[in-house]
Amino acid sequence: MDKYNYNQGEYQNYNYRTQSDQLTVRLDFNINSKNTLILKYNYLKSLRNVAASNSGAVGSRQPGNTGLPFSGSGYTINNNFNIVIAGLNTRINNKANNKLQVGYTSLRDFRSSQGSGDFPLVDILNGTGQTYTAFGYEPVTYINLLNTNLLQISDIFTTYAGKHELTFGTQNYKKTFKNGFASNYEGAFIFNSLTDFYNSANNNAANARNYAVKY
């Protein structure tokens, strides 16, 4: 904290938080005797804190009997969505009706670090190959995201002829995705023991750095 101005968080007595905020709204509006407008909206904002993954670890970075990772080494899983659907139901006559529907869905799934900023992930072992503690930016969290956008338009016409039901229409979907992942982008270091860490001796072949490529 003094040298790099990085706060690694707590090493004990911290909790992993889970939160979910949800909202559902629906409006049915009778425009006239033949037309009904339906509006629906769904909202979700949720998060869950998780301990650092064991990706690239010699031992386990999970809290346990042999080690206590700092809280800043964990990450947060965020799952958010907004869904809007509008529909117009039209009764043309006793033998025909039409249903027009337009919808938009926005899904945002991403990770965020529980640390205070950019910093390499540091694993300190206990001398017997087990992780004693860990702090820094979780190795598979940086720009880890999946954004999905969905636009849907449908128009269905239904008519009845005697014993037969005839349906005509179109259903169209447009999906776009954005996916990001950059393992060990912040860098990773492993020290065999607390003494090696104090002596700044990086003896265990673990100075990894990757860079994201935009394509």
pLDDT tens across the length of the chain (215 residues) = 888 889 999 988 899 999 999 999 999 999 999 999 999 999 999 999 999 998 888 878 888 888 899 999 999 999 999 999 999 999 999 899 999 999 999 999 999 999 888 999 999 998 888 889 999 999 999 999 999 999 999 999 999 988 899 999 999 999 999 999 888 888 888 888 888 888 875 444 444 444 344 33
Instruction: Say how many C-beta atoms besides its own lie within 10 A of residue 164's C-beta.
Output: 7
The answer to whether 50 touches 16, Cβ cutoff 8 Å, is: yes
Half-sphere exposure of 192 (CA within 13 A, CB side): 9
Chain position carrying tokens 């799934």: 109
- Angstrom distance (rounded) from CA 177 to CA 97: 35
pLDDT of residue 209: 41
Element (H, E) at 206: none
Please, where are the H alpha helices in the chain?
194-198
State the pLDDT at residue 91: 94
Contact between residue 104 and residue 84 where contact means Cβ atoms under 8 Å apart: yes
Bridge partners of 86?
39, 102
Instruction: Provide the 10 A C-beta neighbour count for residue 161.
Output: 9
Per-domain residue ranges of the chain:
18-150+177-198
Residue 131 CA to residue 192 CA, distance in Å, equals: 9
Q: What is the pLDDT of residue 205?
A: 42
What pLDDT is stored for residue 65 in this prediction? 85
